[in-house]
Amino acid sequence: MGLFKTQGKVYKPAAEVDLGPGSDEIYIRANVKAPRMAGLLVKIFVWILETRIFGPLVLYILKRDNLIHKLVSYAEFKESPLFTPAHAWEDPKEQEVTFVKPDLTPAERVQEAINCLPISSETTAGSEDSDFYRWTIMDYSRAYRSGETTPLLVVKRLLAAIQESSDSQLKMAFFIHYSPEDILRQATESTLRYERGNPVSVLDGVLIAVKDEIDCTPYPTTGGTKWLHKLRHCIEDAYCVKQLRSCGAILVGKTNMHELGAGTSGINPHYGVARNPCDPNKVPGGSSSGSAAVVCAGLCPVTLGVDGGGSVRMPAALCGILGFKPTFGRISHAGVLPLNWTVGNLGILAGTVEDTLIVYAAISGHPLSDQPASLRVKNLSSHFYPHLNSNFRIIII
């Protein structure tokens, strides 16, 4: 289409762009001009686009009308563009802040987080008068260390619960993939570590599931589809999953999700509709539907999801749990499906802020080739929680 080439926009260096109140810079609003269609019309339109004669012409017109040629295709850049919002900054010096150095191991970072918790953090997330208790990471750790139970016994109960939730009466559709053999193997190894008196961290033996948008061997990563894993093979764990494994966590499978994360209901036509444990007649929200439902049901204290426009936070709200989307760059995106680039971040779903802090400490950071800023932990007890122990701190993002 060189014959119809249009004049592209010239982008000045960022340092020369005036964004102040008196700026004369023109902001070009997005005004998408594209046909709205469904069903048979979509199939016909796709057929036209794939033809050699009409396809390039239709595509050129669509790009022209939506300013793609002007703003992207034929644009002139005075400096190389950044594909991630990376810029230099300096962490301000603050009082009562614990700086978690990026060169610490995941287990060491977890211990730093534990040291920031109040000593009085000994209670289960649930009332004594309630029929339901939300067991926390520290509950699991204390039970394992005391010999009250073992990771192997817990996993056997988990597998029975998953089987029960998948039967014809409940059809909760929490998981897309899980392997009893692999889960039992991990639990056996964790149990042996406790018997020898050398657990890796408080996460050793703790059950964690991940959204099927995150690579976790030995499972394929489908993204909630029936075809994606055939084109993109999962050959190793995502970086965040590697961090959890190094802390001894038991990865129990891949949770259900809205297909390609393109919706907020969590309804999946291929793997079933993940139901909300608070009311099985309701959806859990999406797109991290299975991850939220698993925590809500009490099967795992923590799960991982991915959040672009609320895909962790919305299902967390609908299921009555906590959903945390960290600032971009705090957690490595390596090994996660590139569905929404820098808009989408790995997120954590948990029953308590305490559990969120512990897992965040474990998975924060990047490979050595791409380190983010230091993790910071601040003491806020004297300002907001005077009744808590003075060692209470939370992560500052």
Active site residues: 211, 287, 311
**Greatest pairwise CA separation for the chain in angstroms:** 77
* Token code pair at residue 201: 């961290």
Closest CA to 327 of 305, 350, 346: 346
Cα 224 to the center of its chain, rounded Å? 15
* Token code pair at residue 211: 């959204």
On the 0-12 / 13-18 / 19+ scale of CB atoms within 10 A, 133 is: middle
Q: At CA 364, angle to CA 383 and CA 302, rounded to 5?
A: 80
Cβ-based neighbours of 172, under 8 Å, separated by 6 or more: 165, 166, 274, 275, 277, 280, 293, 297
Closest CA to 221 of 387, 82, 211: 211
Q: Give CA separation, 380 vs 94, 258, 377, 391, 396, in Å.
A: 12, 37, 9, 9, 10
Residues 312, 285: Cα–Cα separation, whole Å: 9
Cβ-based neighbours of 246, under 8 Å, separated by 6 or more: 105, 106, 107, 200
Residues 44, 56: Cα–Cα separation, whole Å: 15
Omega before 35 within 30 of 0, i.e. cis:
no
Backbone φ and ψ of 105, nearest 5°: -75, 160
The answer to whether residues 240 and 372 touch, using CB atoms and an 8 Å cutoff, is no
